[in-house]
Structure 1
Amino acid sequence: MTLTYAAVDQWRAAGEARDAAAAVAALTEDVRLISPITEQFEFRGRAQLGQLLEVALGAIDSITYTDQVAQGTTVALFYEGTIGGTRIHEAQRLRLTPDGLISEITLYVRPLPALTRLMSRLGPELARRNGQPGLARVIPLTAGMLHSMADTGERRFMPRAAPR
């Protein structure tokens, strides 16, 4: 059997179109996603990833995939986008099954202010969908503080450390 990357093509197109249902169709039933935000849990299965993708693709303002590297059943994708006026760069490591569906996704996001802005947008809605309205009210406060520190460091302090 020859491995095809049709599911990866579908995943890319769905991300750029911000179409969660089309993205989920490229996944195995028991897919798992390793988050760039926390080590505390993973998203597992199409149902959990479907909810996450609905929220994430609604939170990210634009996505343009720029690069794809593949070796066998591992594919690395890279995109650039914006989230609330902040540029975001994401790398995605996709693991494929022999029939080409995506079975594992590991995400890496930079720069730090993009990650903290993403956390502040995703967290409250995910908490609400999990029946935790109190947590949904607290997350913007804690994530907002983290984002403020990361954004201030990025804009005010890091430029001072630039090579001369």
Structure 2
Amino acid sequence: MEQPNDAVTAWRTAGEAGDAAAAVAALSPDVTLISPITERFTFRGHRQVRDLLEVALTLIDDITYTDEVAAGRTVALFYEARIGTTRLYEAQRLRLDDTGLISEITLYLRPLPAITLLMRRLGPELARRNGQPGLARLLPLAGGAMHSMAATGETRIMPRVAPR
């Protein structure tokens, strides 16, 4: 059986507590976080990842880690949470550096309405933090349209084609 990793334990505890500063303490200084929303950008280093976590951990409630699987210096974590009343499920692939700190995080989210809701709420604050107030005002409109389509598909269209 794999030995528990202090950085992974700290990361889990910080996520469940909504503590961005404690989460960053578990990360390598040159950490890379690969966005679950788009392949177009990656967060690099403590500052960028901290900015993302400070916003995300205020939007995502009741994070509860359910599973952990480790092989060598790669750990897969799974949690359940919610954004408002929308359920969210996330898988995280963590890669550890030689010192045991988390050096790479790849996030995977489901279902689609949770992703679009997160994008709609996360995007404007990240744009403001990046000095783009005009984009911060536009993102809720674009995100709102995508979220409306995803939520309608989830609640009204896809149930009609579910296995019987």
TM-score, scaled relative to structure 2: 0.97
> Gaps spanning 5+ residues in structure 1: where?
none
Which amino acid in structure 1 is aligned with residue 10 of structure 2? Answer: Q
* Alpha carbons 1:12, 1:65 under 8 Å: kept: yes
Matched residue, 1:44? 44
Q: How many residue pairs end up in the alignment?
A: 163
Q: Matches of 1:29 and 1:98 in 2, distance apart?
A: 13
1:10 aligns with 2:10: yes
Superposed, 1:81-96 pairs within 5 Å as 81-96=81-96
Matched residue, 1:161? 161
Match of 1:38, SS? coil
1:149 aligns with 2:142: no
> Gaps spanning 5+ residues in structure 2: where?
none
- The structural deviation recorded for 1:41 is 1.2
Pairwise CA RMSD of aligned residues? Answer: 1.1
Q: Matches of 1:134 and 1:141 in 2, distance apart?
A: 12
* Alpha carbons 1:21, 1:50 under 8 Å: kept: yes
Q: Matches of 1:70 and 1:47 in 2, distance apart?
A: 27
Matched residue, 1:25? 25
- The structural deviation recorded for 1:50 is 0.5
Runs of 4+ in 1 over 6 A off after TM superposition: none
Instruction: Classify 1:47/1:85 alpha carbon distance in 2 versus 1 (closer, same or farther; 3 Å).
Output: same
* Alpha carbons 1:4, 1:99 under 8 Å: kept: no
- The structural deviation recorded for 1:3 is 7.0
- The structural deviation recorded for 1:93 is 0.1
Which amino acid in structure 2 is aligned with residue 88 of structure 1? Answer: L
TM-score, scaled relative to structure 1: 0.97
Which amino acid in structure 1 is aligned with residue 134 of structure 2? Answer: G
How many percent identity over aligned positions?
A: 71
- The structural deviation recorded for 1:51 is 0.5
- The structural deviation recorded for 1:45 is 0.1
